[in-house]
């Protein structure tokens, strides 16, 4: 059980690392995953996303702590527990983020993470169905499908944006993020294209790569500030020791990686002491700086029979399933997110901070379809000011950590979500929706004042499942930074973190694509390869943002 590299977590980042590191046939790589293989049919069917989230077979389904600003509600944080991690159960949405996100990373002390630095890795990782240009790649392992909206609701959404005075964009992950446009999704030939499909499957036969599932890592073994291996519990409940000659790499995600660091004695000293853990290093930033994208949903009756509701009835679902099994086509081959808008909440906002998404079906609080023709529109807050934390529940590795996101703790987040709700209400009053939009089902036309909207925010704000930033990058002089710009844990050798937890702050959009990019970029660092040549691609920004909202 001696390897050159031990990767903990076979999620979006871990699969990339397993692929790239095992490409050096002289290096032995161990990939450990707490969940099972990704063989279930539901993990292949794009439209089965909700069934995956409603099951715990492939989902950690972490129960968050009571949220003070949400009336003490506990929000469930779904995270993949399977080869491919969250990329095997997520909504398959592919958004790179805004160029200014990465410039912000660089300016915060993360040299080498500006937009020109990360662009070549975004291009390297994808095969884009929309074709190659200055921004998009066409020969990478990750297949990215560009949606072609045909459904009336998606088309009305984009047209209403134009009518409301917003710009349109040809590619939200290209030259211009701001505006109304179409979604990209990680789907290929009608199947989910997870990181496991893209990166792990092609190298499973490599003799220098060992993949162990049902492996719950207990802690990192550290000797004199050097990580030398891990202890994990195997499927039979036995403890196994594995040694790393070069590095232990934590890719367990924004929840799992800080959890393991703390279990290994690296984290806030007072907290570790209180848990009876021997402190290896007082790194107060471990588990702190938790970012997420809060989500609020508006629901509307649909005046025309164009929603997906009838197709969710048992017979229709069975027929759609048979169609998918035979042809990989039909409604089961899509995640049904075709159109979105990246907009600014107001004048003076430099780049988009709201993501507005339409879904051609409305669901209740338990994800069951409303039994009528209806649609919903999500308001996602991309740059929340509130910050949360992850803490140990105990020193038992089997005990899941405590997750406090602190949604809406900063009152500015409430103000921004209220603005988003009002902007959506303005949008659906445009002529394009005249024959489609019926009554507002939720929050309801009588909910207008700030106070009334706040009550609904308290009861219905939830997560977009984009937990991140809990082991953030930063300079060694930054006491709250956990890793350096190469992902190495401050004060230790042979120990690195490579996943969404190292983001300094969350990107402007869904986090799966940036997480894969991070692993692509740091795989070159680990292997000692020169970074890919910079791509100095000019991007669009409103020249009048200080004075106008659109």
The DSSP bridge partners found for residue 308 are none
From CA 469, how far away is CA 405, in angstroms rounded?
12
Give catalytic residues, as residue numbers: 466
The CA distance from 62 to 393, in Å, is 12
CA distances from 97 to 1, 120, 344 (A): 40, 15, 14
Rounded alpha-carbon distances, angstroms, from residue 465 to 112, 357, 450, 468, 539 = 27, 15, 26, 9, 27
Nearest to 282 by CA among 260, 265, 302: 265
In this structure, are residues 108 and 32 in contact, taking their beta carbons and an 8 Å threshold? Answer: no
Residue-by-residue DSSP string for 407-440:
TT-SHHHHHHHHHHHHHHHHHTTSGGGTTTEEEE
What one-character-per-residue DSSP string does 63-108 give? EPPPBGGGTTBPPEE--B-STTGGGGTS--EE----HHHHHHHHHT
Token pair for 215:
């492996």
β-bridge mates for residue 221, sequence order: 229
CB 263: neighbour CB atoms within 10 A?
23
Distance separating alpha carbons of residues 230 and 192, to the nearest angstrom: 32
Contact 186, 144 (CB under 8 A): yes
């Amino acid at each position: 059980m001696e390897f050159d590299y031990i990767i903990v977590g076979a999620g979006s980042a871990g699969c990339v690392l397993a692929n790239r590191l095992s490409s050096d046939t002289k290096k032995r790589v161990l990939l450990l995953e707490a969940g099972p293989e990704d063989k279930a049919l539901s993990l292949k069917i794009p439209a089965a996303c909700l069934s995956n989230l409603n099951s715990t077979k492939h989902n950690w389904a972490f129960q968050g702590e009571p949220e003070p600003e949400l009336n003490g509600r506990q929000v469930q944080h779904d995270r993949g527990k399977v080869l491919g991690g969250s990329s095997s159960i997520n909504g398959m949405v592919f958004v790179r983020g805004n160029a200014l996100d990465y410039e912000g990373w660089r300016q915060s002390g993360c040299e080498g993470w500006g937009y020109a630095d990360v662009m070549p890795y975004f291009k390297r990782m994808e095969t884009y169905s929309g074709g190659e240009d200055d921004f998009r790649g066409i020969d990478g392992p990750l297949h990215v499908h560009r949606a072609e909206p045909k459904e009336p609701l998606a088309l009305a959404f984009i047209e209403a944006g134009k009518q409301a005075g917003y710009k349109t964009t040809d590619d939200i992950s290209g030259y211009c993020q701001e505006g109304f446009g179409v979604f990209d999704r990680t789907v290929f030939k009608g199947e989910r294209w997870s990181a496991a499909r893209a990166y792990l499957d092609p190298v499973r036969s490599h003799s220098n790569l060992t993949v162990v599932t049902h492996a719950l890592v207990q802690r990192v073994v550290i000797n004199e500030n050097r990580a030398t291996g891990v202890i994990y519990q195997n499927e039979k409940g036995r403890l196994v020791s594995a040694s790393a000659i070069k590095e232990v790499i934590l890719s367990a995600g924004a929840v799992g990686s800080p959890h393991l660091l703390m279990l290994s004695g690296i984290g806030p000293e007072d907290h570790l002491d209180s848990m009876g853990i021997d402190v290896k290093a007082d790194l107060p930033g471990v588990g702190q700086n938790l970012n997420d994208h809060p989500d609020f949903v508006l629901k509307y009756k649909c005046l025309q029979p164009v929603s997906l509701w009838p197709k969710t009835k048992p017979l229709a679902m069975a027929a759609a399933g048979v169609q998918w099994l035979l042809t990989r086509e039909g409604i089961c081959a899509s995640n049904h997110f075709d159109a979105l808008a990246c907009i600014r909440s107001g004048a003076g906002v430099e780049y988009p901070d709201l993501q507005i998404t339409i879904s051609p079906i409305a669901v209740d609080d338990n994800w069951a379809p409303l039994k009528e023709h209806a649609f919903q529109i999500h308001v996602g807050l991309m740059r929340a000011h509130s910050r949360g934390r992850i803490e140990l529940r105990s020193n038992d590795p089997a005990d899941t950590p405590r997750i406090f996101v602190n949604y809406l703790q900063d009152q500015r987040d409430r103000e921004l979500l209220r603005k988003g709700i009002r902007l959506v209400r303005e949008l659906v009053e445009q002529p394009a929706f005249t024959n489609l939009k019926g009554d507002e089902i939720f929050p309801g036309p009588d909910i207008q004042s700030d106070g009334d909207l706040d009550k609904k925010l308290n009861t219905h704000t939830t997560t977009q499942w984009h937990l991140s930033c809990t082991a953030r990058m930063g300079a060694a002089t930054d006491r709250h930074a956990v890793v350096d710009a190469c992902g190495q844990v401050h004060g230790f050798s042979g120990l690195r973190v490579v996943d969404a937890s190292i983001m300094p702050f969350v990107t402007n959009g869904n986090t799966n694509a940036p997480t894969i990019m991070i692993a692509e970029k740091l795989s070159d660092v680990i292997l000692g390869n020169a970074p890919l040549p910079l791509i100095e691609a000019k991007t669009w920004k409103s020249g009048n943002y200080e004075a106008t909202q659109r």
